[in-house]
Amino acid sequence: MFRLASMLYSIIATSLAGAGVIAVLTAGYDTLIPILVAAGIGAIIAIPVADLIAREITRQ
């Protein structure tokens, strides 16, 4: 399951980090620190999301 979660993480992390960056830029924060924080938060949130999705896929 770890291999599946790792593969899913690579896709999910980029999606969530990108969505966070877009949200920060839309809010008007266009300096480096808010962009990096949003990308980091998206990457961290992607860990349990990838694990949850991997568990649901392998549960069947």
State the residue for tokens 């291999």: 3
The tens digit of pLDDT for each residue in 1-55 reads: 899 999 999 999 999 999 999 999 999 999 999 999 999 999 999 999 999 999 9
pLDDT at residue 36, as a whole number = 97
pLDDT at residue 60, as a whole number = 74
- With the CA atoms of 26, 29, 32 and 35 taken in that order, what torsion angle do they form, in degrees rounded to the nearest 10? -40
pTM of the model: 0.87
Is-contact 54 8, C-beta < 8 A? yes
CA distance 58 to 32: 39
